Amino acid sequence: MRLPLLSFQVAADQQGSLTADIMELQAVLMAAGGGSRMTDLTYNTPKPMLPVGNKPLMWYPLNLLERVGFEEVIVITTKEVQKMMVTDPKMKVDVKMKLDVVCIQEDGDMGTADALRHIQQKIKTDVLVVSCDLITDVALHEVVDLFRAHNATLAMLMSNAHEFTETVPGQKGKKKTAEQRDFVGVDQSGKRLLFMANEADLEDGLSIRKSIMRKHPRMHIKTGLVDAHLYCLKKAVVDFLADNKSISSIRGELVPYLVRKQFSKTTSSPKIKDDAENQNQKTNDGSTNHELLISSRDEPLLQLAQERSCWNDHRGDMSEAYHGGKLRCYVHIIDQGLCCRVNTLAAYIEANRLAPKLFEEPAVHPSAVISERCQMGSDSIIGALCQVADKTSIKRSTLGNSTTVKEKVKVTNSIIMHGVTIEEGCNIQGSVICSNAVIGRGADLKYCLVGNGQRIEPEAERTNEVIVGTDQLMEI
Amino acid sequence: MADSGVTDEPGSKDDGHRAKTEGKELTKEEKQRLRKEKKQQKKNKEKKDEKASQESEKKRNREEKPVSAAAPASQPPTQPSTQKAPSAVPAPAPVPVPVSETPALADKPAKSKAELKAERRARQEAERASKQASTSKPKAPPSELQPVVKRLPEHVQVDNPGVLKKLAKKLERQQTPGCNAATNVKIPLRSDYGYKVSLFSHLHQYSRKAPLTQQLSIPSTVIHPAIVRLGLQYSQGIVAGSNARSVALLHAFRQVIRDYTTPPNEELSRDLVNKLKPYISFLNQCRPLSASMGNAIKYIKKEISNIPCQCKEEEAKSQLLSSIKCYIDEKIILAAKAIAKSSIEKISNGDVILVYGCSSLVNHILCEAFEKNIKFRVIVVDSRPRLEGREALRRLVQRGISCTYVLISAVSYILPEVSKVFLGAHALLANGYVMSRVGTSQIALVAKAFNVPVLVCCETYKFCERVQTDSFVSNELDDPDDLIVTRKGKTQLEHWQDVPSLGLLNLVYDVTPPDFVDLVITDLGMIPCTSVPVVLRVKNVDQ
């Protein structure tokens, strides 16, 4: 049974328990992204509501937050998604947290950092930013513990990427390897983030400052990491964003900036302030970048404790713990376990394969009507109100809600979204069929992507094609 | 509202009552039970030759036990019942008295009127005596040294399931009171890890990879975020060392007090103490509290309970904050200055000083001595698995002091060069023993064998009323995986858990007898080791 949220906001007449003023972390879910790398799928359905394992995509990060103990989440999204959220049964029933939905314009100009700036008034304490397309079962306390124990400014989550093994519909030829790689430099312990840059920003090679090398002589540079877009940020960072309107994306600009700032000369001298509440910001060198004030009350006491403590985070040189730096960025890299960002078609298919393992719901929805002579593999998922006729075979596939499958249909390795009708005798393999499509009888689809509401004519034979409407083709 | 200590055992009412007044549950019960048994045996013997001398027995017993509620014992009619009732222990009387009444009633037809009267009188006396006894209880704790002396807080008895159950119940009871009672949020219990060496199986052994935060919700609502952060820093060793831990604890408490608001029908002086109890349990589970932290907590609790009722909340809070700051300034910072001043008299030119591990106080002293341009050099002795000496070495060399670094296995080799040994202490026990990092007693022993003076530097707030003569009874077990080391790519102990007869022991503290310590330098002056009880007595009188 959950406490009603009111108990947190009305501080005065409660029993002196923790009030809203001393909440430790606030969760923010970024669900306004457009899914620019999978336009075929997101043409009709906004990315946060794409069904993965018959649940909307944004259910997964919300479930993660709920499991860990959050009671309230600020969701930044578009009006369209908000409307869909309200009508979707899964969101209403399964998500018990209080969702504070903030709508922003759909024109796509607002970056994630801009969105944070937009809700700056609501942010009262340190913030945990999650992207709506993250599907993971990581133990979140590992990331937050790094944030707490080292009093870090930024703590993020990354995972060792696995190659996608499924064939992606519509992909011709081998996968392009000239993707933009991320170079991530960590220290010897693998926790402290020293360097972060994208290949696009490095024109003529990777250059590392001497000051970093002097402080951390051993650096591991990794390129195969997937950024989970889960960040713990100090409140001071949000306030800093409010003043620096030039930063518009968390991942693209803010994180590299913070990582660089760890080693810049100005932040290594401690700024001791008696009263951190008055943010008297003075511009240092006339530039528009205001100083990121990392200070807290009782700074001298903390200093004293650190001085007296016989612990150091590194050894071999003469400097104190953390090299005296106040700005620290940490990363938690997971090797095992599921951590998947659904931002491409390949990732979407992979997610559909892996997501069902995250929850223990029965694979077949109780309201689905499955005839006895249907061969269904154990790793298939059937949504609500489905109708599956005789002599069908469904293996390693996901069927959305209200889908009708007629006789003698073979569905293998595919993802069928909601409201699809598949006529008799079809053979669908390795494909993605979007909502409300109709597949005519006897069609044979291999590794195809059928867009929203499309009709495939009977006896069609398509292989490795993306079948979308002509108006969709006009979109770039 | 306060914990009343009600358990399911028989005589629980009294335990709770006594616990309210005294706060000691476990050992008192044991004593009680022993006394009960003794009295039972005695009564059995007496009953045999009792029939002849009933009257005289009655008179004698009445005289002998005036105040105690042993009156039922003096009554022959109630004799069968006294086998159940302990005589000399006042407190359990209320319970046995009703117990004794029922068999007495059963014997009624056999007794005469006079005997019944005597019975009734005895019963009244017993009840009166028990009421008196219970109110006079606080004045007569039987075998304690001083009224304020407390025994070892929770005898850590990890291998005793009864005690563990009690601890679990205690943690449950310490949930945040009030509105959260419905949701039954509680402080989680941290589970032990790995096989424990049998001599130390009564202590907890936790793994660093399984922090307590695993079982807490992420935006920590039960426990104040500053305390969660502190607990994490303790368990990961980021804040280590007696002084650092105390300062960090007081800093966290300052934040807690700042964010505290008194609930409407409660008093700050009582409610805040109850608020702090679950935090202290939490911190204790992250890492067992040190003696200095214990003293700091006692001080804070005393300050909080001394706040007058009519004091306004803002005033009270600012008063508390300033008293905490005062405590740190006096007991830690100024004490360090005073100790440095006295120690510098003991350091002369040309000295070779041996230090062990990383003691913040000793480092401070050496740095101050160096500032005063005394020419000396330092030998830093270090030991696995903590290897804290490296940090001490760094701090000293950074100042410009010339240092030598050895491991503890080379101590007897290097001692002929040494003129003095300076040791830091984690706590000074009431019998003069010094509790410090494991290895200290070895250094002191070897130094004694070489006739090198050993000086222990310790602030008075680390003085502790505990008495200990060995390092087994009360100690701390660190993560056994710290002992695993990889050399040349091979980790021999990697699968130590698979070998059933292998146990890894990572002790943290040991006790040094006062024979090996020549002088203790405190902020009250330089005292011999055996004068610690005097200092404690003086401190208690002051308080």
Q: What is the pLDDT of residues B221-270, one digit of tens each?
A: 888 999 999 999 999 999 999 999 999 999 999 999 999 988 888 888 88
Tokens matching residue B285: 């589970």
pLDDT at position B75 is 43
Where in A249-380 does DSSP place strands (E)?
Answer: 329-334, 339-341, 369-370, 375-376
- Output the CA torsion sign for A284, A288, A289, A292: positive
Contacts of A128 in chain B (CB under 8 A): 218
Return d(Cα B409, Cα B381) in angstroms, integer.
9
Cβ contact B289:B152 at 8 Å: no
Residue A150 has pLDDT above 80, yes or no: yes
* Nearest residue on chain B to A15, alpha-carbon basis: B263
* pLDDT over 90 (residue B513): yes
Mean pLDDT confidence for B114-124 = 84
| ipTM for this prediction | 0.84
Q: Residue A130: is its pLDDT beyond 60?
A: yes
Among the residue ranges A73-82, B152-161, B316-325, the one predicted with the least confidence is B152-161
CA angle B32-B35-B38, nearest 5°? 150
d(CA A34, CA A252): 16
Q: What pLDDT, on the 0 to 100 scale, is given for residue B186?
A: 67
Predicted local distance difference test score (pLDDT) of residue A277: 38
pLDDT given at position B58: 57
Residues A203-232: tens digit of each pLDDT: 888 888 898 999 999 999 998 888 899 999
Whether the CB of B248 is below 8 Å from some CB of chain A: the reply is yes
**Which residue would you say has higher pLDDT here, A452 or B504?**
B504
Residues A65-78: what's their mean pLDDT?
Answer: 90
Percent of chain B with pLDDT over 70: 77
Q: Tell me which residue of A222, A223, A221 sits closest to A180, measured CA to CA.
A: A223
Q: Which residue of A21, A140, A149 is in closest CB contact with B238? A: A149
A168 near A349, Cβ under 8 Å? yes
How would residue B324 be classed by pLDDT, with cut points 50, 70 and 90?
very high
Of A15, A148, A150, the CB nearest to B228: A148
Instruction: Please state which of the ranges A312-316, B101-105, B435-439 shows the lowest mean pLDDT.
Output: B101-105
Cα Rg of chain A, angstroms: 25
* pLDDT class of B52 with cuts at 50, 70, 90: low
Check if B213 contacts A (Cβ < 8 Å): yes
Give Cα A168 distance to the centre of its chain.
Answer: 21
Query: Is pLDDT above 70 for A98?
Result: yes
Which of A358-362, A423-427, B384-388 has the least mean pLDDT? A358-362
Position B51 scores a pLDDT of 61
- With CB atoms and an 8 Å threshold, state whether B247 touches A305: yes
Judge: B240–A310 Cβ closer than 8 Å, yes or no.
Answer: yes
Tell me the torsion sign for CA atoms A104, A106, A109, A111: positive
**Residue B246: closest CA among chain A residues belongs to which residue?**
A305
**Residue found under tokens 């990354």:** A158
Whether residue B255 and residue A298 make contact (CB cut-off 8 A), yes or no, is yes
User: Which of A3, A145, A308 is the closest to B241 by Cβ?
Assistant: A308
Give B520's DSSP letter. E
Residues of A in contact with B216 (CB under 8 A): 69, 141
Nearest to B390 among A307, A309, A315 (CB): A315
Is the pLDDT higher at B72 or at B124? B124
**Cβ–Cβ gap B183/A24 under 8 Å:** no
Q: Does B273 touch chain A (CB under 8 A)?
A: no
pLDDT at res. A407: 86
Q: In the structure, what pLDDT confidence band is assigned to residue B425 with cuts at 50, 70 and 90?
A: very high
What average pLDDT does this structure show over A291-320? 83
User: B183 to chain A: which residues are within 8 Å by CB?
Assistant: 1-3
Residue of B nearest to A317 (CA): B394
Listing from the earlier edge strand, what are the strands of the sheet with B427-428?
A: B427-428, B434-437, B509-512
What is the distance between the alpha carbons of residues B346 and B372, in angstroms, rounded to a whole number? 13
Give me the pLDDT at residue A205, please.
84
What is residue B496's predicted lDDT score, i.e. its pLDDT?
92
Probe site for chain A from B234, B251, B286 (most A CB atoms < 10 A)? B251
A302: nearest Cα among A314, A292, A294 = A294
Q: Report CA-CA distances (Å) from B473 to A223, B163, B202, B281.
A: 52, 16, 8, 21
| Residue among B179, B214, B263 minimizing CB distance to A141 | B214
Per residue in A423-439, pLDDT tens?
888 888 888 888 888 88
Minimal-distance CA residue of chain B relative to A69:
B217
- The mean pLDDT of A274-285, rounded to a whole number, is 38
Taking only the tens place, the pLDDT of each residue in B271-314 is 899 889 999 999 999 999 999 999 999 999 999 999 988 888 89
Q: Is B236 touching A (CB cutoff 8 A)?
A: yes
Q: What is the pLDDT of residues A288-300, one digit of tens each?
A: 345 667 666 678 8
In A348-437, which ranges are E strands?
369-370, 375-376, 381-382, 387-388, 393-395, 398-399, 404-405, 410-412, 415-416, 421-422, 427-429, 432-433
Q: How far is CA B229 from CA A89, A111, A125, A270, A374, in A?
A: 39, 32, 15, 21, 56
Q: Is the backbone peptide bond immediately before B533 cis, with ω within 30 degrees of 0?
A: no
| Residues of A with Cβ-Cβ distance to B328 under 8 angstroms | 301, 304
Which pLDDT score, from 0 to 100, does residue A446 have? 87
Answer whether A15 sits within 8 Å of B263, measured CB to CB: yes
Contact A70 B217 (CB under 8 A): yes
Chain-chain contact of A148 with B261 (C-beta, under 8 angstroms): no
Residue B528 in contact with residue B536, Cβ under 8 Å? no
Q: Number of residue pairs across A and B with CB atoms under 8 Å?
A: 151
- At a CB cut-off of 8 Å and minimum separation 6, what does B23 contact? B150
* Mean pLDDT confidence for B518-524: 94
